[in-house]
Structure 1
Protein backbone atom coordinates (compact mmCIF):
# COMPACT_ATOMS: atom_id res chain seq x y z
CA UNK A 1 0.00 0.00 0.00
CA UNK A 2 1.31 3.47 -0.78
CA UNK A 3 2.13 5.67 2.20
CA UNK A 4 1.93 9.05 0.55
CA UNK A 5 5.42 9.46 -0.92
CA UNK A 6 6.07 9.95 -4.61
CA UNK A 7 8.43 6.97 -4.69
CA UNK A 8 5.83 4.60 -3.32
CA UNK A 9 3.22 5.96 -5.74
CA UNK A 10 5.64 5.37 -8.62
CA UNK A 11 6.37 1.85 -7.47
CA UNK A 12 2.67 1.04 -7.58
CA UNK A 13 2.42 2.02 -11.24
CA UNK A 14 5.69 0.20 -11.90
CA UNK A 15 3.94 -2.92 -10.60
CA UNK A 16 1.31 -2.44 -13.30
CA UNK A 17 3.79 -1.94 -16.13
CA UNK A 18 3.00 -4.17 -19.09
CA UNK A 19 -0.10 -5.57 -17.45
CA UNK A 20 -3.75 -5.87 -18.37
CA UNK A 21 -6.08 -4.26 -15.84
CA UNK A 22 -9.70 -5.40 -16.03
CA UNK A 23 -12.56 -3.06 -15.26
CA UNK A 24 -15.23 -5.20 -13.59
CA UNK A 25 -18.31 -3.00 -13.76
CA UNK A 26 -21.95 -3.25 -14.80
CA UNK A 27 -24.35 -0.45 -15.56
CA UNK A 28 -27.53 -0.11 -13.56
CA UNK A 29 -30.13 -2.44 -15.07
CA UNK A 30 -27.52 -4.69 -16.69
CA UNK A 31 -28.14 -8.39 -15.96
CA UNK A 32 -24.64 -8.52 -14.48
CA UNK A 33 -25.34 -5.72 -12.01
CA UNK A 34 -25.07 -8.01 -9.02
CA UNK A 35 -22.33 -8.10 -6.39
CA UNK A 36 -21.90 -11.87 -6.40
CA UNK A 37 -21.83 -11.98 -10.21
CA UNK A 38 -19.23 -9.21 -10.49
CA UNK A 39 -17.14 -10.82 -7.77
CA UNK A 40 -17.14 -14.06 -9.73
CA UNK A 41 -16.11 -12.16 -12.86
CA UNK A 42 -13.28 -10.53 -10.91
CA UNK A 43 -12.18 -13.93 -9.66
CA UNK A 44 -12.17 -15.26 -13.21
CA UNK A 45 -10.12 -12.42 -14.68
CA UNK A 46 -7.60 -12.68 -11.86
CA UNK A 47 -7.24 -16.39 -12.61
CA UNK A 48 -6.76 -15.41 -16.25
CA UNK A 49 -3.77 -13.26 -15.37
CA UNK A 50 -5.11 -9.74 -14.87
CA UNK A 51 -2.52 -7.52 -13.22
CA UNK A 52 -5.07 -5.39 -11.42
CA UNK A 53 -8.72 -4.41 -11.27
CA UNK A 54 -10.79 -1.28 -11.74
CA UNK A 55 -13.94 -1.20 -9.62
CA UNK A 56 -16.87 1.14 -9.10
CA UNK A 57 -18.59 1.55 -5.75
CA UNK A 58 -17.53 0.77 -2.22
CA UNK A 59 -19.21 -2.62 -1.91
CA UNK A 60 -17.55 -3.91 -5.08
CA UNK A 61 -14.16 -2.50 -4.14
CA UNK A 62 -14.36 -4.16 -0.72
CA UNK A 63 -15.42 -7.48 -2.27
CA UNK A 64 -12.57 -7.38 -4.78
CA UNK A 65 -10.09 -6.40 -2.07
CA UNK A 66 -10.92 -9.66 -0.31
CA UNK A 67 -9.89 -11.52 -3.48
CA UNK A 68 -6.47 -10.06 -4.18
CA UNK A 69 -3.57 -7.89 -3.10
CA UNK A 70 -3.01 -6.74 -6.68
CA UNK A 71 -3.68 -3.04 -7.30
CA UNK A 72 -7.28 -1.89 -7.40
CA UNK A 73 -8.27 1.38 -9.08
CA UNK A 74 -11.34 2.68 -7.27
CA UNK A 75 -14.03 5.02 -8.53
CA UNK A 76 -17.52 6.21 -7.71
CA UNK A 77 -19.74 7.33 -10.56
CA UNK A 78 -22.29 10.09 -10.10
CA UNK A 79 -24.83 11.52 -12.51
CA UNK A 80 -26.01 15.13 -12.72
CA UNK A 81 -29.43 16.47 -13.67
CA UNK A 82 -28.50 16.41 -17.36
CA UNK A 83 -27.54 12.75 -17.22
CA UNK A 84 -23.81 13.41 -17.50
CA UNK A 85 -21.68 10.90 -15.60
CA UNK A 86 -18.68 11.96 -13.56
CA UNK A 87 -15.97 9.87 -11.94
CA UNK A 88 -15.15 10.36 -8.24
CA UNK A 89 -16.21 14.03 -8.35
CA UNK A 90 -15.57 15.05 -4.73
CA UNK A 91 -13.40 14.30 -1.73
CA UNK A 92 -16.15 12.36 0.02
CA UNK A 93 -16.27 9.82 -2.81
CA UNK A 94 -12.46 9.66 -2.99
CA UNK A 95 -12.29 8.89 0.71
CA UNK A 96 -15.01 6.28 0.37
CA UNK A 97 -13.12 4.29 -2.27
CA UNK A 98 -9.93 4.42 -0.20
CA UNK A 99 -11.76 3.29 2.93
CA UNK A 100 -13.17 0.40 0.90
CA UNK A 101 -9.68 -0.75 -0.05
CA UNK A 102 -8.68 0.97 -3.31
CA UNK A 103 -4.94 1.45 -3.92
CA UNK A 104 -5.41 4.11 -6.59
CA UNK A 105 -8.09 6.80 -6.83
CA UNK A 106 -9.30 7.65 -10.33
CA UNK A 107 -10.61 11.21 -10.74
CA UNK A 108 -12.47 12.86 -13.61
CA UNK A 109 -9.81 15.34 -14.73
CA UNK A 110 -11.53 16.74 -17.80
CA UNK A 111 -11.91 20.45 -18.44
CA UNK A 112 -15.64 20.27 -17.76
CA UNK A 113 -14.89 19.62 -14.06
CA UNK A 114 -12.66 22.62 -13.50
CA UNK A 115 -15.61 24.78 -12.44
CA UNK A 116 -17.15 22.14 -10.16
CA UNK A 117 -17.62 22.92 -6.44
CA UNK A 118 -14.66 20.62 -5.77
CA UNK A 119 -12.43 20.87 -8.86
CA UNK A 120 -9.93 18.11 -9.38
CA UNK A 121 -7.07 20.58 -9.04
CA UNK A 122 -7.99 20.63 -5.34
CA UNK A 123 -8.84 16.92 -5.07
CA UNK A 124 -5.45 15.70 -6.29
CA UNK A 125 -3.37 17.23 -3.45
CA UNK A 126 -6.01 16.30 -0.86
CA UNK A 127 -5.96 12.69 -2.06
CA UNK A 128 -2.18 12.69 -1.67
CA UNK A 129 -1.93 14.34 1.71
CA UNK A 130 -5.11 13.22 3.47
CA UNK A 131 -5.76 9.82 1.90
CA UNK A 132 -2.15 8.92 1.04
CA UNK A 133 -3.08 7.44 -2.30
CA UNK A 134 -1.93 8.13 -5.86
CA UNK A 135 -4.29 9.68 -8.38
CA UNK A 136 -5.08 8.33 -11.82
CA UNK A 137 -6.40 11.20 -13.94
CA UNK A 138 -9.16 10.08 -16.30
CA UNK A 139 -8.86 12.41 -19.29
CA UNK A 140 -10.21 12.91 -22.81
CA UNK A 141 -7.55 15.07 -24.44
CA UNK A 142 -3.90 16.02 -24.36
CA UNK A 143 -4.85 19.35 -22.79
CA UNK A 144 -6.65 17.54 -19.96
CA UNK A 145 -3.63 15.33 -19.42
CA UNK A 146 -1.10 18.15 -19.33
CA UNK A 147 -3.23 20.08 -16.85
CA UNK A 148 -3.61 17.00 -14.67
CA UNK A 149 0.12 16.35 -14.68
CA UNK A 150 0.77 19.97 -13.66
CA UNK A 151 -1.74 19.57 -10.84
CA UNK A 152 0.16 16.55 -9.52
CA UNK A 153 -1.61 13.53 -11.00
CA UNK A 154 0.51 10.39 -10.73
CA UNK A 155 -0.71 8.85 -14.01
CA UNK A 156 -3.27 9.49 -16.72
CA UNK A 157 -5.74 7.24 -18.53
CA UNK A 158 -7.69 7.84 -21.72
CA UNK A 159 -10.89 6.70 -19.99
CA UNK A 160 -13.08 9.64 -20.96
CA UNK A 161 -12.12 9.87 -24.62
CA UNK A 162 -15.47 9.39 -26.33
CA UNK A 163 -17.53 10.63 -23.38
CA UNK A 164 -17.02 14.40 -23.37
CA UNK A 165 -18.81 16.91 -25.57
CA UNK A 166 -15.78 17.23 -27.84
CA UNK A 167 -15.31 13.48 -28.26
CA UNK A 168 -18.87 12.21 -27.86
CA UNK A 169 -19.79 9.05 -29.70
CA UNK A 170 -16.27 7.87 -30.54
CA UNK A 171 -15.98 4.17 -29.78
CA UNK A 172 -12.47 3.29 -30.90
CA UNK A 173 -9.06 3.94 -29.36
CA UNK A 174 -7.33 7.15 -30.43
CA UNK A 175 -3.82 6.12 -31.35
CA UNK A 176 -2.84 9.74 -32.15
CA UNK A 177 -3.98 10.76 -28.66
CA UNK A 178 -1.98 7.97 -27.05
CA UNK A 179 1.08 8.91 -29.10
CA UNK A 180 0.74 12.57 -28.05
CA UNK A 181 0.36 11.66 -24.39
CA UNK A 182 3.45 9.50 -24.49
CA UNK A 183 5.42 12.24 -26.23
CA UNK A 184 4.46 15.07 -23.88
CA UNK A 185 3.99 13.53 -20.43
CA UNK A 186 6.47 12.23 -17.90
CA UNK A 187 3.90 10.36 -15.77
CA UNK A 188 2.68 6.84 -16.68
CA UNK A 189 0.02 6.65 -19.39
CA UNK A 190 -2.70 3.99 -19.40
CA UNK A 191 -4.83 3.26 -22.44
CA UNK A 192 -8.43 2.72 -21.39
CA UNK A 193 -11.58 2.61 -23.45
CA UNK A 194 -12.87 0.94 -26.61
CA UNK A 195 -10.31 -1.90 -26.73
CA UNK A 196 -11.89 -4.90 -28.47
CA UNK A 197 -8.99 -7.17 -29.47
CA UNK A 198 -5.71 -8.38 -27.90
CA UNK A 199 -3.73 -6.92 -30.78
CA UNK A 200 -4.90 -3.44 -29.75
CA UNK A 201 -3.66 -3.98 -26.20
CA UNK A 202 -0.32 -5.18 -27.56
CA UNK A 203 -0.10 -2.16 -29.86
CA UNK A 204 -0.64 0.19 -26.91
CA UNK A 205 2.08 -1.49 -24.86
CA UNK A 206 4.46 -1.52 -27.83
CA UNK A 207 3.88 2.22 -28.23
CA UNK A 208 4.91 2.75 -24.63
CA UNK A 209 1.71 2.72 -22.58
CA UNK A 210 2.36 1.61 -19.00
CA UNK A 211 -0.73 -0.63 -18.92
CA UNK A 212 -4.05 -1.23 -20.65
CA UNK A 213 -7.44 -1.18 -18.94
CA UNK A 214 -10.10 -3.37 -20.58
CA UNK A 215 -13.73 -3.61 -19.59
CA UNK A 216 -16.60 -4.60 -21.88
CA UNK A 217 -14.50 -6.68 -24.26
CA UNK A 218 -13.82 -9.06 -21.38
CA UNK A 219 -16.64 -8.66 -18.88
CA UNK A 220 -19.88 -7.95 -20.78
CA UNK A 221 -21.40 -10.86 -22.71
CA UNK A 222 -24.13 -8.58 -24.07
CA UNK A 223 -21.60 -6.28 -25.74
CA UNK A 224 -19.45 -9.15 -26.98
CA UNK A 225 -22.46 -10.97 -28.45
CA UNK A 226 -23.76 -7.81 -30.11
CA UNK A 227 -20.40 -7.29 -31.79
CA UNK A 228 -20.65 -10.74 -33.40
CA UNK A 229 -24.30 -10.19 -34.32
CA UNK A 230 -23.64 -6.85 -36.02
CA UNK A 231 -20.84 -8.34 -38.13
CA UNK A 232 -22.89 -11.33 -39.24
CA UNK A 233 -25.88 -9.13 -40.09
CA UNK A 234 -23.66 -7.14 -42.45
CA UNK A 235 -22.59 -10.29 -44.27
CA UNK A 236 -24.64 -11.69 -47.12
CA UNK A 237 -24.74 -15.30 -45.96
CA UNK A 238 -26.21 -17.71 -48.48
CA UNK A 239 -28.28 -20.59 -47.08
CA UNK A 240 -26.67 -24.00 -47.29
CA UNK A 241 -27.88 -26.26 -50.08
CA UNK A 242 -27.72 -29.28 -47.79
Structure 2
Protein backbone atom coordinates (compact mmCIF):
# COMPACT_ATOMS: atom_id res chain seq x y z
CA UNK A 1 0.00 0.00 0.00
CA UNK A 2 1.30 3.47 -0.87
CA UNK A 3 0.56 6.58 1.15
CA UNK A 4 1.08 10.31 1.06
CA UNK A 5 2.62 12.39 3.82
CA UNK A 6 -0.21 13.38 6.14
CA UNK A 7 0.10 17.11 5.47
CA UNK A 8 -0.09 16.69 1.69
CA UNK A 9 -3.13 14.44 1.92
CA UNK A 10 -5.04 16.59 4.37
CA UNK A 11 -4.51 19.84 2.53
CA UNK A 12 -6.82 18.83 -0.32
CA UNK A 13 -9.08 16.11 1.03
CA UNK A 14 -9.69 17.59 4.46
CA UNK A 15 -10.59 20.92 2.89
CA UNK A 16 -13.56 19.16 1.28
CA UNK A 17 -14.96 17.72 4.51
CA UNK A 18 -18.68 18.47 4.82
CA UNK A 19 -18.80 20.39 1.56
CA UNK A 20 -20.61 20.36 -1.75
CA UNK A 21 -18.34 19.79 -4.73
CA UNK A 22 -19.78 20.74 -8.11
CA UNK A 23 -18.76 18.86 -11.24
CA UNK A 24 -18.49 21.43 -14.03
CA UNK A 25 -18.43 19.26 -17.14
CA UNK A 26 -20.38 18.96 -20.36
CA UNK A 27 -20.75 16.01 -22.73
CA UNK A 28 -18.88 16.23 -26.01
CA UNK A 29 -20.98 18.19 -28.49
CA UNK A 30 -23.22 19.74 -25.83
CA UNK A 31 -23.80 23.51 -26.24
CA UNK A 32 -21.96 24.01 -22.93
CA UNK A 33 -18.91 22.05 -24.10
CA UNK A 34 -16.71 25.13 -24.12
CA UNK A 35 -13.94 26.09 -21.71
CA UNK A 36 -14.99 29.73 -21.27
CA UNK A 37 -18.61 28.72 -20.72
CA UNK A 38 -17.72 26.05 -18.17
CA UNK A 39 -15.40 28.49 -16.40
CA UNK A 40 -18.29 30.93 -16.02
CA UNK A 41 -20.42 28.10 -14.63
CA UNK A 42 -17.61 27.25 -12.21
CA UNK A 43 -17.47 30.86 -11.03
CA UNK A 44 -21.22 30.88 -10.54
CA UNK A 45 -21.30 27.72 -8.42
CA UNK A 46 -18.36 28.99 -6.36
CA UNK A 47 -20.32 32.16 -5.64
CA UNK A 48 -23.19 29.91 -4.60
CA UNK A 49 -21.01 28.27 -1.96
CA UNK A 50 -19.43 25.22 -3.60
CA UNK A 51 -16.48 23.99 -1.55
CA UNK A 52 -14.61 22.59 -4.54
CA UNK A 53 -14.86 21.66 -8.21
CA UNK A 54 -14.59 18.51 -10.28
CA UNK A 55 -13.16 19.18 -13.73
CA UNK A 56 -12.29 17.18 -16.83
CA UNK A 57 -9.27 17.84 -19.00
CA UNK A 58 -6.15 19.92 -18.57
CA UNK A 59 -7.51 22.97 -20.41
CA UNK A 60 -10.53 23.29 -18.10
CA UNK A 61 -8.47 22.61 -14.97
CA UNK A 62 -5.98 25.34 -15.91
CA UNK A 63 -8.86 27.77 -16.49
CA UNK A 64 -10.63 26.90 -13.24
CA UNK A 65 -7.39 27.15 -11.30
CA UNK A 66 -6.99 30.79 -12.30
CA UNK A 67 -10.35 31.51 -10.62
CA UNK A 68 -10.06 29.66 -7.30
CA UNK A 69 -7.71 28.24 -4.69
CA UNK A 70 -10.35 25.73 -3.53
CA UNK A 71 -9.69 22.04 -4.20
CA UNK A 72 -10.12 20.76 -7.74
CA UNK A 73 -10.72 17.08 -8.37
CA UNK A 74 -9.24 16.47 -11.80
CA UNK A 75 -9.79 13.73 -14.34
CA UNK A 76 -9.28 12.98 -17.99
CA UNK A 77 -11.85 10.96 -19.90
CA UNK A 78 -11.04 8.60 -22.76
CA UNK A 79 -13.35 6.45 -24.86
CA UNK A 80 -12.71 3.02 -26.34
CA UNK A 81 -13.94 1.66 -29.67
CA UNK A 82 -17.14 0.40 -28.08
CA UNK A 83 -17.98 3.83 -26.69
CA UNK A 84 -17.10 3.01 -23.08
CA UNK A 85 -15.77 6.01 -21.18
CA UNK A 86 -12.89 5.64 -18.74
CA UNK A 87 -11.63 8.07 -16.12
CA UNK A 88 -7.90 8.85 -16.07
CA UNK A 89 -6.94 5.46 -17.54
CA UNK A 90 -3.15 5.74 -17.28
CA UNK A 91 -0.33 7.54 -15.52
CA UNK A 92 0.23 9.87 -18.48
CA UNK A 93 -3.28 11.27 -18.15
CA UNK A 94 -2.87 11.56 -14.36
CA UNK A 95 0.32 13.58 -14.82
CA UNK A 96 -1.35 15.81 -17.39
CA UNK A 97 -4.16 16.85 -15.05
CA UNK A 98 -1.80 17.12 -12.08
CA UNK A 99 0.46 19.47 -14.03
CA UNK A 100 -2.62 21.49 -14.97
CA UNK A 101 -3.32 22.18 -11.30
CA UNK A 102 -5.64 19.44 -10.03
CA UNK A 103 -5.30 18.89 -6.28
CA UNK A 104 -6.83 15.41 -6.28
CA UNK A 105 -6.64 12.84 -9.06
CA UNK A 106 -9.86 10.93 -9.85
CA UNK A 107 -9.11 7.43 -11.12
CA UNK A 108 -11.34 4.66 -12.48
CA UNK A 109 -10.80 1.90 -9.91
CA UNK A 110 -13.43 -0.54 -11.10
CA UNK A 111 -12.87 -4.25 -11.70
CA UNK A 112 -13.13 -3.76 -15.46
CA UNK A 113 -9.82 -1.84 -15.47
CA UNK A 114 -7.73 -4.45 -13.67
CA UNK A 115 -6.95 -6.37 -16.86
CA UNK A 116 -5.54 -3.32 -18.67
CA UNK A 117 -1.88 -3.06 -19.63
CA UNK A 118 -1.57 -0.33 -16.99
CA UNK A 119 -3.97 -1.35 -14.19
CA UNK A 120 -4.95 1.22 -11.60
CA UNK A 121 -3.25 -0.78 -8.87
CA UNK A 122 0.02 0.28 -10.50
CA UNK A 123 -1.06 3.85 -11.19
CA UNK A 124 -1.98 4.74 -7.59
CA UNK A 125 1.55 4.39 -6.14
CA UNK A 126 3.03 6.31 -9.06
CA UNK A 127 0.61 9.18 -8.48
CA UNK A 128 1.65 9.26 -4.83
CA UNK A 129 5.36 8.91 -5.38
CA UNK A 130 5.86 10.96 -8.55
CA UNK A 131 3.04 13.50 -8.48
CA UNK A 132 2.51 13.81 -4.72
CA UNK A 133 -1.26 13.95 -5.18
CA UNK A 134 -4.04 12.10 -3.33
CA UNK A 135 -6.13 9.64 -5.34
CA UNK A 136 -9.92 9.58 -5.39
CA UNK A 137 -11.00 6.11 -6.49
CA UNK A 138 -14.13 6.23 -8.63
CA UNK A 139 -15.89 2.93 -7.94
CA UNK A 140 -19.14 1.10 -8.69
CA UNK A 141 -19.30 -1.60 -6.00
CA UNK A 142 -18.16 -2.34 -2.48
CA UNK A 143 -15.66 -4.84 -3.87
CA UNK A 144 -14.13 -2.10 -6.04
CA UNK A 145 -13.88 0.17 -3.02
CA UNK A 146 -12.22 -2.42 -0.78
CA UNK A 147 -9.69 -3.21 -3.50
CA UNK A 148 -8.97 0.49 -4.03
CA UNK A 149 -8.43 1.05 -0.31
CA UNK A 150 -6.06 -1.92 -0.19
CA UNK A 151 -4.13 -0.48 -3.14
CA UNK A 152 -3.63 2.83 -1.34
CA UNK A 153 -6.44 5.09 -2.58
CA UNK A 154 -6.97 8.08 -0.29
CA UNK A 155 -10.76 8.27 -0.71
CA UNK A 156 -13.51 6.60 -2.74
CA UNK A 157 -16.47 8.03 -4.63
CA UNK A 158 -19.55 6.18 -5.89
CA UNK A 159 -19.16 7.87 -9.29
CA UNK A 160 -19.39 4.76 -11.46
CA UNK A 161 -22.36 3.07 -9.82
CA UNK A 162 -24.73 2.52 -12.73
CA UNK A 163 -22.04 2.66 -15.40
CA UNK A 164 -20.37 -0.76 -15.23
CA UNK A 165 -21.59 -4.14 -16.43
CA UNK A 166 -22.65 -5.27 -12.97
CA UNK A 167 -24.45 -2.02 -12.09
CA UNK A 168 -25.59 -0.89 -15.54
CA UNK A 169 -28.89 0.96 -15.71
CA UNK A 170 -29.03 2.21 -12.12
CA UNK A 171 -29.97 5.89 -12.15
CA UNK A 172 -30.71 6.55 -8.49
CA UNK A 173 -28.48 6.68 -5.43
CA UNK A 174 -27.81 3.30 -3.85
CA UNK A 175 -28.13 4.08 -0.15
CA UNK A 176 -27.37 0.42 0.52
CA UNK A 177 -24.02 0.75 -1.25
CA UNK A 178 -23.31 4.00 0.56
CA UNK A 179 -24.00 2.43 3.96
CA UNK A 180 -21.73 -0.49 3.09
CA UNK A 181 -18.92 1.84 2.08
CA UNK A 182 -19.23 3.85 5.28
CA UNK A 183 -19.31 0.72 7.44
CA UNK A 184 -16.43 -1.13 5.77
CA UNK A 185 -13.91 1.52 4.74
CA UNK A 186 -11.41 3.44 6.82
CA UNK A 187 -10.78 6.10 4.17
CA UNK A 188 -13.19 8.97 3.34
CA UNK A 189 -16.29 8.16 1.30
CA UNK A 190 -17.69 10.68 -1.16
CA UNK A 191 -21.18 10.42 -2.66
CA UNK A 192 -21.21 11.12 -6.38
CA UNK A 193 -23.69 10.13 -9.02
CA UNK A 194 -27.49 10.43 -9.39
CA UNK A 195 -27.80 13.20 -6.78
CA UNK A 196 -30.82 15.29 -7.77
CA UNK A 197 -32.23 16.91 -4.64
CA UNK A 198 -30.74 19.02 -1.79
CA UNK A 199 -32.36 16.63 0.67
CA UNK A 200 -30.16 13.83 -0.68
CA UNK A 201 -27.07 15.90 0.06
CA UNK A 202 -28.23 16.44 3.63
CA UNK A 203 -29.04 12.76 4.11
CA UNK A 204 -25.63 11.67 2.84
CA UNK A 205 -23.72 14.11 5.03
CA UNK A 206 -25.76 13.07 8.06
CA UNK A 207 -24.91 9.44 7.27
CA UNK A 208 -21.23 10.28 7.47
CA UNK A 209 -19.92 10.89 3.96
CA UNK A 210 -16.90 13.14 3.62
CA UNK A 211 -18.42 15.28 0.85
CA UNK A 212 -21.00 15.18 -1.93
CA UNK A 213 -20.36 15.80 -5.62
CA UNK A 214 -23.25 17.06 -7.76
CA UNK A 215 -23.03 17.61 -11.47
CA UNK A 216 -25.89 17.68 -13.97
CA UNK A 217 -28.56 18.53 -11.40
CA UNK A 218 -26.82 21.90 -11.01
CA UNK A 219 -24.84 22.54 -14.19
CA UNK A 220 -26.76 20.96 -17.08
CA UNK A 221 -29.76 22.99 -18.29
CA UNK A 222 -30.63 20.26 -20.78
CA UNK A 223 -31.19 17.58 -18.14
CA UNK A 224 -32.82 20.02 -15.71
CA UNK A 225 -35.25 21.14 -18.41
CA UNK A 226 -35.99 17.54 -19.38
CA UNK A 227 -37.06 16.80 -15.80
CA UNK A 228 -39.52 19.71 -15.86
CA UNK A 229 -40.82 18.69 -19.30
CA UNK A 230 -41.34 15.15 -18.01
CA UNK A 231 -43.42 16.59 -15.16
CA UNK A 232 -45.51 18.49 -17.70
CA UNK A 233 -46.11 15.29 -19.68
CA UNK A 234 -47.26 13.47 -16.55
CA UNK A 235 -49.58 16.35 -15.69
CA UNK A 236 -51.02 16.31 -19.21
CA UNK A 237 -51.91 12.62 -18.98
CA UNK A 238 -53.32 12.93 -15.48
CA UNK A 239 -50.54 10.78 -14.00
CA UNK A 240 -49.68 11.23 -10.33
TM-score, reference length from structure 2: 0.96
Matched with 2:117 is 117
SS for the counterpart of 1:27 is coil
Q: Aligned equivalents of 2:227 and 2:176: distance in 1? A: 24
Unaligned runs of 5+ in 1: none
Structure 1 segments (4+ residues) deviating >2 Å? none
SS for the counterpart of 2:126 is helix
What RMSD over aligned residues (CA atoms) do the two structures have, in Å?
Answer: 1.3
Deviation at 1:157, TM superposition (A): 0.1
Deviation at 1:227, TM superposition (A): 0.5
Matched with 2:39 is 39
Taking the TM superposition and a 5 Å limit, the aligned residue runs for 1:15-94 are 15-94=15-94
Q: Aligned equivalents of 2:38 and 2:199: distance in 1? A: 26
Q: Aligned equivalents of 2:8 and 2:95: distance in 1? A: 19
Cα deviation per residue 1:32-70 (whole Å; 9 max; x = unaligned)? 001110000000000000000000000000000000000
Cα deviation per residue 1:10-34 (whole Å; 9 max; x = unaligned)? 3422211110000000011100001
Q: Aligned equivalents of 1:10 and 1:89: distance in 2? A: 25
Residue 137 of structure 2 is aligned to residue 137 of structure 1: yes
SS for the counterpart of 1:234 is helix
Which range moved further: 119-128 or 9-18? 9-18
Question: Does the 8 Å CA contact 1:10/1:154 hold for their aligned counterparts?
Answer: no
Deviation at 1:237, TM superposition (A): 6.7
SS for the counterpart of 2:30 is coil
TM-score, reference length from structure 1: 0.95
Unaligned runs of 5+ in 2: none
Count of residue correspondences = 236
Taking the TM superposition and a 5 Å limit, the aligned residue runs for 1:103-114 are 103-114=103-114
Q: Aligned equivalents of 1:98 and 1:31: distance in 2? A: 27
Matched with 2:165 is 165
